[in-house]
Structure 1
Amino acid sequence: MNETSSSTFKALQAGLSTEGITLYLFWLGIVGMGAGAIYLWMLQGTLSDKYKKVAIVAGIICAVACFHYYRMASIYAESLANAITFVDGKAVVGELSAFPTAYRYIDWLITVPLMVLEFPLLLALGKKSKGLFWNLGALSLGMLVFAWIAETSPLGGGVWWSFYIVSCIFWVLIVKQLYGQVTSAASHLPESFQGQLGVMKKFIAIGWIIYPIGFLLALSSNESFREIAYNIADVINKVGFGVACVIAAQMLTKFEAEGTIPTAE
């Protein structure tokens, strides 16, 4: 048995403890993201050439996350294995010395800007799309950089709270942009599409709430609660959001075939 297999086997002794459940959710994330990527790429055939990029990007988001979840699961499993001791033949989980924070933020720095790219890709507004992407992309990067600084600062300290609050402000600005500029840019599209666009916006406005809540869970006695929140949120907000994007693209493909998409003013 090699060292990696040995660490994994030992980590599994955590069973259904908080740490054990966290490890299972990392593995679920690998499967969910991988399956999501394949499924979303398969849906390209249901889209016109103009909107195939929506499915391609959605699949890339999940594929990148799948790789990073594989790496994060390995780091967490090793840390968990090192934290386990045996007392009277029973596994006792101590405090974990390391969490895959850096890998998680590297993943987010790649995938989150790609997620907001889906809105200008879907609306296909030419030069206006570039401005919209750069605005949303800059806000998303600002949100993540400040959150990363907070995450690596002393827990519960002044820097931790300050950068956390600034990160949340960037998120609010993203939501404001979605319900302002994006809504305005899509106002010429059929009303039935507006509802699906609303679903996409809700993933950012409501689905992303799990992240600041998860961040605060680090204040609890067990930081693995934060990892549980992040893992659940990632699968929902990457795979679910990708499916919502493709459904919206399928609607526009149908309208395009029918010739019922009015020109933007």
Structure 2
Amino acid sequence: MTNLMFLSSGVPKIMAADDYVGFTFFIGSMAMMAASAFFFLSLNQFDKKWRTSVLVSGLITFIAAVHYFYMRDYWNAHEVSPTFFRYVDWVLTVPLMCLEFYLILKVAGAKQNLLWKMIFLSLVMLVTGYFGEAVYQGSADIWGFISGLAYFVIVYEIWFGEASKLAAAAGGNVLSSHKILCWFVLVGWSIYPLGYMLGTTGWYSGFLGDTGLKMDIVYNIADAINKIGFGLVIYNLAVKSTKND
């Protein structure tokens, strides 16, 4: 059994039934686009102070959808991991996910230095991850360690640092939504280091075995869960807050 796919050039491409990587790229692109349409079309039901947050949620999934269309076509044409496109997507969308924390915490007096701190840490995490995965593959474990440090600083900031204190001060729906987003970062984002280790060589290679291109499956599933899930948390917060207002 095979499925007919089309490259961006319009040339038909047959996707094998056991091409699970290609399948997750296809599902990811459609899920992200559907989520974008949902977030954009729901904007008018919210008060102005929540529209920006929901708009950013739509932008995150829209940017991801566009990149997933490119990555899907790249995979169909070459059956090679589209690492460059993936990191371009992350460099744009992960800082926007950090922006979501700032936007919901503005009601508690969040300052822009919190936003810039989290954006800086996210860029360090992504740039060093790209170096290890695509540029300096011989020292991928070192670059992965630096990337992991930046990730854990972000985790500390939102769970115990300034962001956590602001969420506690805001209370109510903001606090509950902040906690859910924190779990997304702690649990959902932790899937990415697994994908990184599956796609690179280091001290961890011995117990992971023959990984092939399993990293793309892990990345694709994690992207859909985290980006759409992030947006749904923000959407739910906007709905509850608008009703209360």
Taking structure 2 as the reference length, what is the TM-score of the superposition?
Answer: 0.87
Q: Distance in 2 between matches of 1:192 and 1:5?
A: 47
1:121 corresponding residue in structure 2: 103
1:190 corresponding residue in structure 2: 171
The amino acid across from 1:138 in the alignment is F
- Give the deviation of 1:40 after TM superposition: 1.2
- Count how many residue pairs are aligned between Structure 1 and Structure 2: 230
Residues 100-136 of structure 1 deviation map (CA, whole Å, 9 limit, x = unaligned): 0000000000000000100111122597431111011
- Residues 158-237 of structure 1 mapped to structure 2, 5 A cutoff: 159-179=139-159, 180-218=161-199, 219=205, 220-237=209-226
Q: Distance in 2 between matches of 1:123 and 1:47?
A: 17
**RMSD of aligned residue pairs (Cα, Å):** 2.0
- Give the deviation of 1:211 after TM superposition: 0.3
Residues 206-247 of structure 1 deviation map (CA, whole Å, 9 limit, x = unaligned): 100110011111254343100000000000000111111121
Residues 30-84 of structure 1 deviation map (CA, whole Å, 9 limit, x = unaligned): 100000101111222332101100110000000000000000011111113xxxx
Identical pairs, percent:
29
- Give the deviation of 1:192 after TM superposition: 4.7
Higher-Rg structure is 1
Q: Distance in 1 between matches of 2:212 and 2:45?
A: 42
1:253 corresponding residue in structure 2: 242
Q: Distance in 2 between matches of 1:5 and 1:45?
A: 37
What is the SS of the residue equivalent to 1:231?
helix
Residues 153-173 of structure 1 deviation map (CA, whole Å, 9 limit, x = unaligned): 465x3x110000110110000
- Residues 92-107 of structure 1 mapped to structure 2, 5 A cutoff: 98-107=80-89
Q: Distance in 1 between matches of 2:108 and 2:174?
A: 19
Bigger mean CA offset, 181-190 vs 169-178 = 181-190
1:260 corresponding residue in structure 2: none
Q: Distance in 1 between matches of 2:222 and 2:229?
A: 10
What is the SS of the residue equivalent to 2:49?
coil
Any stretches of 5+ residues in structure 2 without a counterpart?
Answer: 1-5, 200-204
After superposition, the Cα gap between the structure-2 partners of 1:127 and 1:224, relative to the gap in structure 1 and judged at 3 Å, is same
